[in-house]
Amino acid sequence: MRREFATFFAASGETDLDPRDELEIRRSALGMLALQSMLRSLQWIPSVARVVDTIASLDEEYAPGGPPQSPVHDTLFMTWSCVDMTVERDDTVAALALALAPTLRWSAEVIAAVRMVAESRLGIFRIVDVQPGVVGDGSILVLRELVTEDRISAQLFEEFDLRISELVLARPVVLPAEVARLRGVSHGIFATPYVLHGHSEPEWTDYLERQAAELKVRLDPAVYPLLMRGRGDERRWLEFVVDGYVGQRKHNLVELRGIPDRPETLPQHPDHDPDEALAIPPGASSQERANILSAKVARLFDALASRERDEDREAMAGHFRALQARGADVQLCAELLIPVMLYEGSPAGGRPWIDAMVEEGSLDADVLEYIEAARAAVTSIYEVIDVDAGQSLRLRDVFDGREVVVRERAGSTGAPTRILILARVARYRDIHLLEGMLPHVAPPSLRTPLVARVAQACPVPPPPAPREPGWVYRAMLAWFDVLAEERRGQHPSITTCFADDDTEIDPPSADSRAAVAEGIARRYDAFLDQSIAALDGLSPRMAAEREDLREPLDDLLREHEFAVTRQVGSGVVDFAAFRRELGLEV
């Protein structure tokens, strides 16, 4: 073959890697080296020779190596050819190797290394958080997977420039138990991931549903892994990387755009057509129309930003500085600020950016209809009162009590009820949408100070009167003022409701995030029988017997769930079981 299978994995000689990282990279390399060795040693068998020839031919076709040679990285091609590509009787190279392991006289260490690679697969993940590593140089990603909704923590073994909220195509590998405990994560990412641009989670889910339908099955958490391994189209992900390439970041991190079965959306595909990619198909639902029209408006943003007035630009820069001074992540704030600038104007009182495009008369009727709906969006503080996971959120405006069901497949996954959000809600045709939301959410305990502070900073007129221009900018500053005060302990929070000793739920330490999760779980073992000041000194079990304390008890449980999930993910403490035991609504 033209190139060694394990070029990337086999670190040799002097390196600038942390020795503990290098050890894990070598451990992961062992499995690939063993598979390469097996193929070479058994080439005299005709069936193995055919596999070697097939891999060599595909190697020539895709020329893996990363940009500028090819967007297909060595790590993607090597693992795919040995783990996902099927050979004899629908087996893979890795599966055949494990079956032959006794004959090959592999050691337990080699078998474990091969199995670790063999059990890995590609997945599409949303980056929920990026944290510094406990051990080694690489950052830790908190990931939520599409379809399965599994949340995992995975450490990078190279400092890729990955950002919170991005979608990525990645192959996490389950780490050995002792390594996972040491590093405070469940997985490692050794193969270079890919960043997915330009399409939402619902669009990716729709694509996977179409692929499942071709197999005459419904998409579910059991079918999804088969599709990610290439069932029905083994070269699906290789072809997507080639056709979807749009550029790269440092360390050759490749950025992709498009949906694999929609060639018009793929920048490198011969049938790429930017206009056709955003055409509304016949019979499209309101949700599908809104997704496409939102993407069309987003394409206008760069052109509109170039026309920004100097006073608007200076006012926005000042607003960003004010947010940063209050501890806000301004990059995340853009998720709300961009639609506000488009449809409401700048902090300086400048006209909405979208007005210029509307006046030019170059926008079609569908886009104009969507723009009018987005202009009329109501920006407010909303309480999440119900969640239909993967489908919608039921929100209540805290100022006027009006309730609305918002179609939000991505935002409704894992969202705890009773949290507070600052968002714009728009009505488009027969549905409501989130047309901008501040990712910095607030726990239920901050409802009173948040509502009071926002109302003081920017009075809220009774409906149907609209918010005055600039309302959302002042509301954001008030929002972050209250969050900053909470961090300083100026508002009651769950950190002081554990028994009488004011025991706090500490943030994860450098010792081990896994140990922190175990410690938090142990603290909740006797939670239902602990005396809690917020419940008049009663335990949750006793408070459940008092009608006047059932609502505060429910609020307390929601807030605990919110805080624990934010710290260590879902599933560590079973709050639904607590509610059932206390006779509260789950």
Same domain, 322 and 455: yes
Domain with 56 in it: 19-118
484 by Cβ neighbours in 10 Å (0-12 / 13-18 / 19+) ranks as: middle
Classified as helix, coil or strand, 152 is strand
278 within some domain? no
Q: Token pair of 331, please?
A: 């990059």
Closest CA to 410 of 162, 206, 190, 155: 206
Burial 230-260 (b: 16+ CB within 10 A, else e): bbeeeebbbbbbbbbbbebeeebbbbbbbbb
d(CA 103, CA 89): 20
Same domain, 113 and 143: no
216 by Cβ neighbours in 10 Å (0-12 / 13-18 / 19+) ranks as: exposed
516 within some domain? yes
Report the domain count for the chain. Answer: 4
Q: Token pair of 356, please?
A: 């210029």
pLDDT 10s per residue in the chain (586 long)? Answer: 333 333 434 433 445 677 778 878 888 888 888 888 888 888 888 888 888 898 999 999 998 888 888 999 998 998 999 899 888 667 888 888 898 888 888 888 899 889 998 999 999 999 988 888 888 888 899 999 999 989 999 999 888 888 877 899 999 999 988 888 889 899 999 889 999 987 878 889 999 999 999 999 999 999 999 999 988 888 999 999 999 999 888 778 899 999 999 999 999 999 988 777 777 877 778 888 887 888 788 777 666 666 667 788 888 888 988 998 988 877 778 888 888 988 998 888 878 888 888 888 888 999 999 999 999 999 999 999 888 765 788 999 999 899 999 987 555 445 667 889 999 999 999 999 999 898 888 888 788 888 889 988 888 877 767 777 788 999 999 999 998 887 776 554 433 333 333 333 343 344 445 655 676 777 788 888 887 766 777 888 988 888 888 888 887 787 777 667 656 666 678 888 888 888 887 6
461 within some domain? yes
Q: What is the reported pTM?
A: 0.59
Same domain, 265 and 205: yes
Same domain, 457 and 502: no
* Residue pair 459/348 in contact by the 8 Å Cβ criterion: no
> Last residue of some domain: 103, 118, 133?
118
* Residue pair 162/192 in contact by the 8 Å Cβ criterion: no
> Last residue of some domain: 64, 88, 118?
118
Phi and psi at residue 102, to the nearest 5°: -60, -40
Q: How is 199-232 classified by DSSP, letter by letter? A: --HHHHHHHHHHHHHHTTS---TTTHHHHHTTTT
Tell me which long-range contacts 267-272 makes (C-beta under 8 A, separation of at least 24): 267/243, 268/242, 268/243, 268/244, 269/243
4 within some domain? no
